[in-house]
Amino acid sequence: MAYLYIKGAMMLHFKSNSASFHSARPFSYQTLSLLVMLMAALLLLGGCSSSSHTEQPAAADSSDTSMSGHSINMDHSAHMGTTTAAPEGSVTAKPADITTEQQTLTGKEITLTARKAHLEIEKGKYLPVWTFNGSVPGPQIEVTQGDTVTVHLKNELDVPVSIHFHGVVLPVAMDGVPGVTQDAVQPGGTFTYTFKAVHAGTYWYHSHQDSLNQIGKGLYGTFIVKNKNAESADVDRTLVLDEWNDPNTHAPDREANTAALSSNMGMYNIYTINGRSGDSIEPVRTHPGEQVRLRFVNAGNMTQLLYINQPAYRVVSSDGEDINDPQMLRHGLLRIAPGERYDVEFRAGQPGVQVIGTVGDSDFARSMRIPVVTETDSDTWTDQQINDQISSQQSKLTTEIVSGWPELDLTRYGKPASSTFNLQQSYDRDYQMTLNMGVSDGQTMYTINDQAYPKADNMTVKTGDTIKITMTNKSVNEDHPMHLHGHIFQVLSKNGQPVSGSPLWKDTLNVRPGETYTVALLADNPGIWMFHCHELHHASMGMMIDLVYEDYTSAYKPDPHANNISE
């Protein structure tokens, strides 16, 4: 009953969304800027050659999606009553509200304040952003496994927000999904999240209100749960990948990374690590012999293919879950999809500079790179020396060269060990999810089993059920990184091949075009949980369902005036 009520509210919401868009003042700046963006997208696609790296989208397909992506985007800002007509661009004069350095917050009680600022995304270029505590990414929260964490959210923006702790297994009332688990936190309002950090690992948090728009503007940070018993690395850095759209910068030219085109937004034109691009990215600095742990988090909407120019490294965990006995790798590729996390470890060798970067020939792709600098106390590298080293390495590590490096396949990595689920056992529930694109009511939508949220069947379970889910991606050229809230699931097979390496647990699984995965989980956390693609254009255009426990009744009643936007 309670659930029907929620679903009804969300359906209404969805409708009022599109109504407000279509009835928007016909010749407003919004409409105009939408047209300008569409034209730019078309020009861009026209100028796009086939000279590129790993992904080759069909032009017609991507032109379709890039248009719908933008219309949804504008739809949201129309609905949210954003007063700016045209998209805000960067400025070159230093604004007063410049972002601060990222803080590390430890301790059991933490406050995150959502507020506006300007990010110096490149030297002398300031982009308007939304932040937690004045920085992008927001503070890194560090706690110890077993701690009970309390996070107070204060909203100083003029739109409602929320916080979802991505990948963290917590009670549903703390899940931060407006309209499903709580009302969005209104301007001037507060909300307190408390939960026990059960699993150690690398996680992140972000607003789940209007998330395509709000995460896109910078409302995210990292959440690290340290294992009490594990030795910590000498150097431990978190590296958050993201991409941005600065309408003041010319659109991507013919060299553009085609991944951008295939992910709906041909218009991302700045790629960042920890909110910085190119030479502004702070290097990882280490000494010979030190143990280094790099925690990669993808907060963007594009899958990034990283090349790791290290002679000996291991991928020790994914989505916060350790990999059993991971083999040593050398000079390889690591694909990281939206929402995923990977922890990489290596021991620093002789003094020198080595680059980790993203595969692609565009200036944007080449500016997403990080120097790993090994130096001694008596012999350090200057910024200039580091940058020179990096450019000379980047000119040698062409796309052609790095594309030949082996790419990690997690389903064959590490050593087998006994684990919870297998393909032979019987399951209480067996679900299929076909991921695709389709047209519904004349609009391009992203679908699960031909349905677009909120007009989609729930996945129903009851507490204690074992569940098997098979996901197939029928899209021609788009990744669907599928993320389930409140649970982790075990990956059992990929394209019919059983996982042959370490038991593999994920909360975000990138299903690439043509791929099929079978996963299993235990229904041990009663609630209503989102299951959606983390390419947030896809989620906001329908690629989402609810995992609903039949034996759970929510105490939460959505406020119809809270402007809840759950995706």
> CB nearest ligand C2O: which residue?
166
Phi/psi for 240 (5° steps) reads -100, 120
Count of Cβ atoms closer than 10 Å to residue 518 Cβ: 22
Query: Of the candidates 419, 414, 454, 432, which has an alpha carbon nearest to the alpha carbon of residue 543?
Result: 454
**Amino acid at the residue 176:** G
Facing residues of 518 across strands? 470, 493
User: CB-based contacts of 135: which residues, under 8 Å, 6+ apart?
Assistant: 99, 100, 101, 102, 103, 117, 275
What single letter denotes the amino acid at residue 313?
Y
Name the pairing type of β-strands 369-374 and 314-318: unpaired
The residue among 178 and 266 lying less far from ligand C2O, judged by its C-beta, is 178
- Could you tell me which residues come within 8 angstroms of residue 257 by beta carbon, excluding any fewer than 6 positions away? 52, 53, 360, 361, 362, 364, 365
Q: Is 335 in the site for Cu ion (CB under 5 A)?
A: no
Instruction: Between 119 and 541, name the residue whose CB sits nearer to Cu ion.
Output: 541
Find the binder of ligand C2O among 76, 79, 118, 164 (CB under 6 A).
164
The one among 293, 335, 366, 538 contacting Cu ion by CB under 5 A: 538
Residue 368: CA count within 13 A, CB half-sphere: 32
Binding-site partner at residue 480 among ligand C2O, Cu ion, none, CB < 5 to 8 Å by type: Cu ion
- Per CB under 6 A, does 487 bind ligand C2O? no
Nearer to ligand C2O, 80 or 482 (CB): 482
Nearest Cα to Cα of residue 465 among 492, 496, 487, 483: 487
Asked whether 561 and 183 are in contact (CB, 8 A), the reply is no
Nearer to ligand C2O, 252 or 481 (CB): 481
For Cu ion, the binding residue among 112, 141, 533, 562 (CB under 5 A) is 533
Considering the complex, what minimum distance in angstroms separates the CB of residue 531 from ligand C2O?
9
Which of Cu ion, ligand C2O, none does residue 70 bind (CB under 5 to 8 Å by kind)?
none
User: Which 193-212 residues touch ligand C2O, going by CB under 6 A?
Assistant: 206, 208
Burial class from Cβ neighbours inside 10 Å (0-12, 13-18, 19+) for residue 395 reads exposed
Stretch that binds Cu ion, among 211-219, 231-239, 278-286, 533-541 (CB under 5 A): 533-541
Of residues 70, 79, 166, 331, which one binds ligand C2O by CB under 6 A?
Answer: 166
Strands 284-286 and 270-273: unpaired
What's the closest the beta carbon of residue 554 comes to ligand C2O, in angstroms? Answer: 17
Residue 138: contacted member of ligand C2O, Cu ion, none (CB under 5 to 8 Å, by partner type): none
The interface mask with ligand C2O, positions 235-254, x = CB under 6 A, is: --------------------
Cis peptide before 288 (omega within 30 of 0): no
Q: Count of CB atoms within 10 A of residue 53's CB?
A: 19
Q: Is 535 an interacting residue with respect to Cu ion (CB under 5 A)? A: yes
Size of the site for Cu ion (CB under 5 A): 4
Strand locations in 485-534 (E): 489-494, 497-498, 504-506, 508-511, 516-522, 528-533
Positions 511 through 550 that interact with ligand C2O (CB under 6 A): 530, 532, 534
Residue window 467-486: x/- pattern of binding to Cu ion, with contact defined by CB under 5 A: -------------x------
532 binding partner (options ligand C2O, Cu ion, none; Cβ < 5 to 8 Å by kind) = ligand C2O
Note the Cα 235 to chain centre separation in Å: 24
Q: In terms of CB distance, is 482 or 522 closer to Cu ion? A: 482
With CB under 5 to 8 Å by kind, the binding choice for 166 among Cu ion, ligand C2O, none is ligand C2O
Q: Which is nearer to Cu ion, 65 or 202 (CB)?
A: 65
Degrees (nearest 5) of the Cα angle 125, 129, 135?
90
Residues 6+ apart with CB under 8 A from 265: 66, 69, 243, 245, 301, 302, 537
What is the rounded CA–CA span in Å between residue 482 and residue 64?
22
Residues 546, 431: contact at Cβ < 8 Å? Answer: no
Q: Count residues near ligand C2O (CB under 6 A).
A: 10
What residue 164 binds from Cu ion, ligand C2O, none (CB within 5 to 8 A, per partner kind)? ligand C2O
**CB 314 → ligand C2O: shortest distance, Å?**
26
Site string for Cu ion, 489-528 (x = CB under 5 A): ----------------------------------------
Choice between 484 and 523, CB closer to ligand C2O: 484
Cα separation, 138 vs 99, in Å, equals 10
Measured at the CA of 299, the angle between CA 296 and CA 304, to 5 degrees, comes to: 65
Nearer to ligand C2O, 216 or 339 (CB): 339
Residue 79 contact among ligand C2O, Cu ion, none, beta carbon within 5 to 8 Å by kind: none
Site string for ligand C2O, 454-483 (x = CB under 6 A): -----------------------------x
DSSP three-state, residue 302: coil
Residue with Cβ nearer ligand C2O (299 or 373): 299
**Residues forming the site for Cu ion (CB under 5 A):** 480, 533, 535, 538
Which residues of this protein are in contact with ligand C2O, per CB under 6 A? Answer: 164, 166, 206, 208, 339, 483, 485, 530, 532, 534
